Structure 1
Amino acid sequence: MSRLRSAEWYEGDDRNAYIHRAWMRRGNPEDALDGTKPQIAIANTASDLTPCNMHLNEVAESVKHGVWAAGGVPYNLPVVSLGETQVKPTAMLWRNMAAMAMEEMFRANPVDGLVLLGGCDKTIPALLMAAASVDIPAVVVPGGPMMTGYFRGQALGCGTDVWRLSEEARAGEITGAQFLASEQSMIRGKGHCNTMGTASTMAVVAEALGMTIPGFAGTPAADARLLALSHETGKLIVDMVAAERTPSRIMTREAFLNAIVAVAAVGGSTNSVVHLLAIAGRLGVDLTLDDFDATGAGVPVMANLQPSGAYLMDDLYRAGGVLGVLAQVRDLLRADPITVTGRPLVDYLDDRPVYDADVIRPREEPLMADAGIAVLRGNLAPRGALVKPAAATPELLQHTGPAVVFDSIEDMRARIDDPALDVTADSVLVLRGCGPKGYPGMPEVGNMPLPQKLLAQGVRDMVRISDARMSGTAYGTVILHVAPEAAAGGPLAVIRTGDLVTVDVENRMLNVAVSDEELAERRASASTEAAYAAPVRGWARLYVDHVMQADTGADLDFLVGSSGPDVARESH
């Protein structure tokens, strides 16, 4: 092991070293700051306003015990936390801010290694983006999904059943009182959503990238084994510092390709695409939308989990876990990428048992044979758009229909249930002004509610297109992340109600029946432009001025690339 990074603060007899040591004594053992013991920061996203991460203070204590046991010195480092269900207008607006703040704190402090505690959707991506930019040894502790709740004897999938029950209430199939009664059962206890939504997907991504102890992702938050693995992670980070095993050594291009395979195999969230692109951008790894199509589109879905399937995350854990799923697609994984342990991920897939073949399907009987995230292009999405076929209605994956266009979320909500709205089941609902710049922050509104009059007719899915995202717990034939977005001058800004839109997922096309010449001549309407975000100050202004498009990860342009661990100046 080379000289510890923290020795830059603590070694020596000068005034600066004196100050650094004296202020950190605080009951630490005499030898804690002697320059030989790795100083470990536990980047902790616990917050009472991030309900899915509330339990991470308990997890941090287990990590601390592991760090001490291995000869390191642990420190709790609270970092920016984002509660997906709580913050407005959307947690995605602050993912980059959280990553930037984390990066600066990791670099500025005397730490040699990082344990990254995340759970809710944006916390693991932000932590990985920050750790990648600083590039000191780091390992993820995923906070885990909650145990399943039940309503009237039926298992509830967080998010997924909110969308289902709310549409049933709007259709008159259940009463408003019944819908509200289910609220008491939806969230059973600690942890994040129990579906294969974005939180679960990003835990899978962290494991497939090699950034967790193999087998950790998907461990339920309430399971005592999560604390045991957290203790082991605390011990491991001390070894990682000695081995100088940094994120850039682990998260190689091939590791990202493994993550794409993993997302497809579990039927993961489309949000993983924008996060993986952003993490790769911080490392300088060449990853594009084409990689998602080339590597992931043909991968079979092996996990029978909501929203694509029937089961929930605690079922996946008892059936064999994430490694049980990956073992079914081992032939599609790259063999070389290592994990935080120093061993390749594929080494952990040998003879991996599956205990319930209905939850984790055998390779010869997948849930869906070819349903990874698909990338569509055409004159409506020159730089790409995403669709998750596993969550879509198969008959709508090739469809042509007239557009019904909404200029904003507010416009959509005001008109979607208007009995006079000229819409049929064949219509294509189009929502614009909801991309990174337009809202701002690219909210999860792409899975628009269906018009009430069509719900009453029994319609349960329609083609929906937007420059927004959707929750990983959502479902439907929803085309997302259209790039360029309307607010950045994309064609979405100028299509009109009545234009014929064609979706052809098999051939990866998304087109509007308007000539290139006419599209170029059209101008966005005053109402369209008036709906775009125009912040005048603060983070939102900085974000709108510098955010990139979804096809490159929606990071800020000046944050792409690693800055390394060095602190530029001494402060004392």
Structure 2
Amino acid sequence: MKKPEDLRSARWFAPDDLRSMGHRSRARQMGLDGNDWEGKPIIAVINTWSDLSPCHHHLRDRAEFVKKGVYQAGGMPVEMPVQSFSEQFLKPTSMLYRNFGAMEVEEVLRSHPIDGAVLLGGCDKSTPALVMGAISMGLPFVFMPAGAMLRGNYAGQKLGSGTDVWKYWDERRAGTIGKEEWDGVEGGIARSYGTCMTMGTASTMMSIAEGFGLCLPGASSIPAPDAGHKRMAAACGRRAVEMVWEDLTPEKIVTWEATRNAVRVAMATGCSTNAVIHLLAMARRAGIPLTLDEFDAIGREVPVLANLRPSGDTYLMEDFFYAGGLPALMAELGDKLELGAMTVTGKTVGENIAGAKNFNDDVIRPLSNPVYHEGSLAVLKGNLAPDGAVIKPAACNPDFWQHRGPALVADSYAELKEIINDEDHPMTPDTVLVLRNAGPQGGPGMPEWGMLPMPKALLKQGIRDMVRMSDARMSGTSYGACVLHIAPEAYVGGPLALLRTGDMVVLDIPGRKLEMEVSDEELAERRKAWQAPAPRYERGYGQMFSQHIEQADKGCDFDYLRTDFGAPVPEPEIN
């Protein structure tokens, strides 16, 4: 157990010298005095709230409940704002700024008199950014998920954010619904603050954080407007203070065992494909060399148990909460988890879920009756993706699990839109629609363009799915036969850059293959003719991003933020 004199913040406030006198006097300037900080852990409340973040619009209020919990446990809370990651409004893509946010979190914690932290976030990139930065800093922390919004509703039908938008948009483009119905969906699909209520990227990443042991049990499943969410916020504040005294730091929690648990939880929830990139990055910040092969191996062992859209047919996150939430799902997984892994509670996973109950075995399926017999994701490799690509078999028509068809290639999103909006564009249901130059550098930032819209030429024939592939990502609320994250990306000269319209593409999910039927000799000739495109950026953050971003199979982190890159960052001098 730590003593008051061992607190990191004591370096700022305790010494009887000129510099510490300055720190104390400036704290008094804000109405504080020694009773606030003397012998007490200072807990940073890292907040991603903003007026342009509907998913986090309640976090200004939740920060007050976290502070209440910190005070109750005898600590001193300080709220620190960081990058907001508004998925809807941040362009060209919030993924461009995930690493920026992670760096900000790390440096905010390092440069201030902070002993521990509660991280407030949940919208897609906020969870990995907050966790990556806090892991790299190494202070005790608890992640407090923002929570999902309430179920959507239109004309008596449940609506799932994202998933139903794509479905209704295809029907609108096909002419089967009109503007009145479209406006009704718009008004009913987002009924409260909070993240997407499907098992999209937000709910996936909040569940993964709990699977890692970085949340209090059940925190990831509470709907954002539920009163229990406020109580959980206060509990996080109390626990953060206790963790400081216990010196329960991230390296004691984010272990190989915890990482494998996080992957297993992801697979069992029917997770977003984005989970791959973020989990790789989060694990590697802790020095754990997670790979795509590890993902695929676990995916073959752990079935989808959460019957939630888009992998499931009916249910949403509110239903998942009522059924028992993530603790109930983890209890169903049982011995498939590393039950001895440590968590932020100071107890093991096994201890945390010992009393968890499943109140609806259609929402949270038992192992004997899964939604899908394997995990949510499959990793593909071949001459189109030598470093890997990802697909979500549970969310696409089984007819496409083995497919062969001619490529139809778009070099940009603008070119893709011309293809999909042309009602007479020559193609068949066997066509493989391809978008390239949309990866980490090519996007730039690897935007969520990977669920390529269905072409009107096929929609008017009543066709609602086809094989689509890209080096981009797609929203976790998306569905369909979409191959994503092809690595290396086309923009840096990956084999996808050499594919031509008309080349035959072979997709084999059971065999985990993604191939183009082009000879090695022909590919070598095409390689000689390929020319690297001009850089997307020539200055600023974008230029730095382009120079240092790693490929999708490595987690798209910056190369210089790896644990093996140079000496550890020293603590700041207090002088």
Q: Same fold (TM over 0.5)?
A: yes
Residue among 57, 68, 71 paired with 1:68: 71
Matched residue, 1:567: 571
Q: Does the alignment pair 1:354 with 2:358?
A: yes
Q: Does the alignment pair 1:368 with 2:372?
A: yes
Return the offset for 1:351: 4.4
> Counterpart amino acid of 1:115?
V
Matched residue, 2:13: 10
Deviations 1:180-213 (A, max 9, x none): 2311111101111000000000110010000000
Matched residue, 2:234: 231
Q: Does the alignment pair 1:93 with 2:96?
A: yes
Q: Does the alignment pair 1:246 with 2:249?
A: yes
Taking the aligned partners of 2:54 and 2:528, their CA distance within structure 1 comes to 40
> Counterpart amino acid of 1:174?
I
Q: How does 1:360-399 map to 2 (within 5 A)?
A: 360-399=364-403
Taking the aligned partners of 2:126 and 2:207, their CA distance within structure 1 comes to 14
Matched residue, 1:275: 278
Taking the aligned partners of 1:204 and 1:312, their CA distance within structure 2 comes to 14
Matched residue, 2:422: 418
Taking the aligned partners of 1:448 and 1:106, their CA distance within structure 2 comes to 40
Contact 2:298 2:375 (8 Å CA) reproduced? no
Matched residue, 2:154: 151
Contact 1:160 1:473 (8 Å CA) reproduced? yes
Matched residue, 2:55: 52
Residue among 490, 505, 508 paired with 2:512: 508
Distance 1:9 1:566, change over 3 A: farther
Matched residue, 2:208: 205
Residue among 255, 258, 265 paired with 1:255: 258
Taking the aligned partners of 2:529 and 2:61, their CA distance within structure 1 comes to 53
> Counterpart amino acid of 2:437?
G
Q: Does the alignment pair 1:290 with 2:293?
A: yes
Contact 1:134 1:564 (8 Å CA) reproduced? no
Return the offset for 1:366: 1.1
Matched residue, 1:42: 45
Q: How does 1:479-558 map to 2 (within 5 A)?
A: 479-523=483-527, 534-558=536-560
Return the offset for 1:30: 2.6
Q: How does 1:208-219 map to 2 (within 5 A)?
A: 208-219=211-222
Q: Percent identity?
A: 48
Contact 2:424 2:457 (8 Å CA) reproduced? no
Superposition TM-score, scaled by structure 1 size: 0.97
Taking the aligned partners of 1:305 and 1:91, their CA distance within structure 2 comes to 25
* SS of residue matched to 2:453: coil
Taking the aligned partners of 1:525 and 1:323, their CA distance within structure 2 comes to 55
* SS of residue matched to 2:310: coil
Return the offset for 1:564: 6.0
Taking the aligned partners of 1:149 and 1:460, their CA distance within structure 2 comes to 23
Contact 2:292 2:379 (8 Å CA) reproduced? yes
Return the offset for 1:476: 0.3
More displaced, 23-32 or 251-260? 23-32
Return the offset for 1:342: 1.1
Return the offset for 1:23: 0.9
Contact 2:269 2:376 (8 Å CA) reproduced? no
Return the offset for 1:299: 1.3
> Counterpart amino acid of 1:60?
A
Taking the aligned partners of 2:471 and 2:401, their CA distance within structure 1 comes to 18
Return the offset for 1:218: 1.2
Consecutive unaligned residues of structure 2, counting only runs of 5 or more, are none
Taking the aligned partners of 1:29 and 1:12, their CA distance within structure 2 comes to 15
Taking the aligned partners of 2:552 and 2:255, their CA distance within structure 1 comes to 21
> Counterpart amino acid of 1:547?
I
More displaced, 66-75 or 329-338? 329-338
Taking the aligned partners of 1:456 and 1:87, their CA distance within structure 2 comes to 33
Provide the alpha-carbon RMSD of the alignment: 1.5
Contact 1:107 1:565 (8 Å CA) reproduced? no
Q: Does the alignment pair 1:461 with 2:465?
A: yes
> Counterpart amino acid of 1:403?
A
* SS of residue matched to 1:75: strand
Contact 2:416 2:435 (8 Å CA) reproduced? yes
> Counterpart amino acid of 2:538?
V
Deviations 1:149-189 (A, max 9, x none): 21011011011111111011111111133212311111101
Return the offset for 1:536: 1.2
Taking the aligned partners of 1:497 and 1:180, their CA distance within structure 2 comes to 38
Return the offset for 1:566: 4.0
Consecutive unaligned residues of structure 1, counting only runs of 5 or more, are none
Taking the aligned partners of 1:378 and 1:191, their CA distance within structure 2 comes to 39
* SS of residue matched to 1:382: strand
More displaced, 369-378 or 222-231? 369-378
Taking the aligned partners of 1:392 and 1:292, their CA distance within structure 2 comes to 19
Taking the aligned partners of 1:449 and 1:119, their CA distance within structure 2 comes to 27
Taking the aligned partners of 1:290 and 1:205, their CA distance within structure 2 comes to 18
Deviations 1:247-295 (A, max 9, x none): 1110111111101110111101110110011111211112111110111
Deviations 1:100-156 (A, max 9, x none): 111111100000001000021111110000001000001100010001121011011
Q: How does 1:319-334 map to 2 (within 5 A)?
A: 319-334=323-338
> Counterpart amino acid of 2:386?
P
* SS of residue matched to 1:8: helix
Taking the aligned partners of 1:106 and 1:410, their CA distance within structure 2 comes to 41
Taking the aligned partners of 1:261 and 1:49, their CA distance within structure 2 comes to 33
Return the offset for 1:32: 2.2
Return the offset for 1:565: 7.3
Return the offset for 1:529: 5.5
Deviations 1:435-469 (A, max 9, x none): 00101100001110111020111111111111000
Taking the aligned partners of 1:160 and 1:529, their CA distance within structure 2 comes to 36
Contact 2:299 2:374 (8 Å CA) reproduced? no
Return the offset for 1:533: 5.2
